[in-house]
A and B are shown apart, each in its own frame.
Chain A
């Protein structure tokens, strides 16, 4: 089906619309979290939903993450489809047991008999001086732990489609939205934070990457806000005659390994850009995938540009230096092109 609508939404509004679309269809879907009701979510992911669906289905919670995320697990295995918001991913520390020992493992422990159809939404990412407990992405850590799908939309269209797919999925899905792609009035924004979003339900398949920009000289694999940095870098690179392909992973679990291999087979060079900590994470996984799947095609050792293994610093010059930037991506890509 092709939708010709050109209606534009911000990513934040697209997320809320995705939730509303499914809530209207399926009354087992409900939302819990801190400030998701009256406030509409600190990042607006549940804006307008309290008015539409009432306090029985859009529930403000106490600051009791272990309690209410664990309660979502209980509701999910008993016939509901909860969406539960962890305000910032950085707060996982107070409630991770319910997430990775319970939500993620019950299906396996039960030999596939008990389903846990829930969505854990959470805000990720830095770049606005919110310091070391409010700026992390941490997707590599969630992806590392077996049993939960992990999605990270970078634009409004994917945000709505991935939300609907996540709600309908019979597995727990961690839905991470980067604050910098939401199109919030109070954050520095990228023009792509607003885009065409079809009305009505549609799914973006979980586990499928998207070629955000076609290119022939190198592949930049990335996710979240870094997709936009990579796209901006690709525009700069084009001016110097370098054609960069940008692959937006969209999901980390499952990881679209075929898309990574296919792109590297085409361009012969790989740069991974990751806002998460460098070691033991996404960049290593993507590079391993390329080395194992497209070894003979590689003209140079793959490169990675990630946040160094340090807590995210507060001070602007420190943070700017630590996180991947358009300039750094452009620089790394240029280096990669003459390597090998």
Chain B
């Protein structure tokens, strides 16, 4: 038997007091790595499995202290700000230790499942009172399935409720590895049309749809369906109608639905990692529009809530 605590993985954040990622007060672990490339991704720092320099230009004083610190000379000053040549950068992190202005941070930490579990367990007193627990998010937690399964299994052993926030894009044998330790799935449905799904996320949705049906009906796991509402991409009345019908008919009217309105957080993050965002143009949906979409779900007898 493997020592669960020793299994290692890459994460980029552990956030406490999350109240929109499942029931009660939760601790959410953001894992690195994702097979999808959603145009609107809010957490682009999750895409790659590697360490990355995260640079906050507003904080940079242009002091130049990081330049000599970099062993390969990847940094120079341009318009008063430190600029990193991402092709050269080895993500060694030395520059982050010299910056006095917290402008340079390393995105991604290699940690063991045991360490992550310890962070989760710290807040146990809060879960007990509020009916909360731990949520794995990302990225796509199934991308590091063994690590995810280890963390979740440690939680289960400690009596902590677990939730998995997933795109559902994984082979069934991978899912089977993780599902036994999951109490609740927060399952994304991004688009109903396979080719549109491909355009928006880089992958088709067949596997995703199959998976959610199997998880819900065959494995009898509670599922909450989450739909990012991205104006101009997946918010047409037809697509929402199709989504509602899918949830109501293929899953069941008792499956709760959350609509997650688009916000712009992801854009500035791309900038900070020196990553060219994909061509994308949208605006946050209006309240009126959200209400309209909500009505569609309601008309299918579904319980729907705006926000997580």
Q: Do A and B come from one complex?
A: no
